[in-house]
Amino acid sequence: MKLSTSLVAVKKITSSKPRSNFVDDELEQAAHLILESEGVVNPIVVRRTGLQSFEVVDGDFEYYAAARAREIDTRKGEMIGVFIIESENEEILTKQVELFRKSKAFLPNNGTASSDSIESRLINMESRSSNTESRVTNFESRFENRTLELQTEFRLEIKNINDRLKEIENRIPKPMEPLEALNTLGVSELTSKLRRVGINIKIIEKIISERDNGKFKSFINVVDRIKGLGDKTMLKIIDSFANGTV
């Protein structure tokens, strides 16, 4: 009987060993090598569990690497080379597995993992720890950047609010000094304001006529220049402008 490999669909194979027994980085590297070479140099040994289903007898690492290769590229990773244990080759394949393969997986007499396997696991743990630290650093960096962005947005919003408040403040009419009002307000506006506080229309007309001869210099000057305008009426005008009632 000539020993030869058979191509079997990866999805038809199962393994009794958990995938977590193997280093993810090594499986990933092996998967890409399988895709690049379109096969494995160390075929998996399987036993039939059905007409088209198989279970790994030896080569669990190769199986999981092939499964990962199939995840990466379904077309190239669909099939994998295996040795199938049949009734006619069971004895010879079983002996080869025990002699050539399983004896290398364990140290003599104590069943502990090889130093290479331990070293690989330690390296993998260090790699995961480094990746975790890198993710934490990235998170801290993103958090800090977002905090700075929020601070900038907050300052900009405060500036916008202050600008709007100033704009509103500028729209509010500023109180006018009574003497300035008598000297500068337009005829209709001055007439309207003084009439609202009960000033006689004749007095108003005299104020408007007299200021054309020169601005009033003081309230006393107004009283002196406007005949019929007494101190009480002048005080009434001053109070109305000062209190904003006109």
Q: Is the pTM of this model over 0.75?
A: no
Q: Is the dihedral of CA 200, 202, 203, 205 positive or negative?
A: positive
Q: In 97-201, which ranges are E strands? A: none
Strands 44-48 and 6-9: unpaired
Positions in the chain short of pLDDT 50 = 106-113
Q: What are phi and psi of 145, to 5 degrees?
A: -65, -40
Is the domain defined by 6-121 classed in CATH 3.30.420.10? no
- Could you tell me the residue ranges of all domains in the chain? 6-121, 136-172, 178-242
pLDDT tens per residue across span 22-43: 999 999 999 999 999 888 888 8
Bridge partner list, 79: 9
End-to-end CA distance of the chain: 121
Residues comprising the chain, all counted: 246
3-state class (DSSP) for residue 58? strand
Rounded distance, CA 207 to CA 213, Å?
10
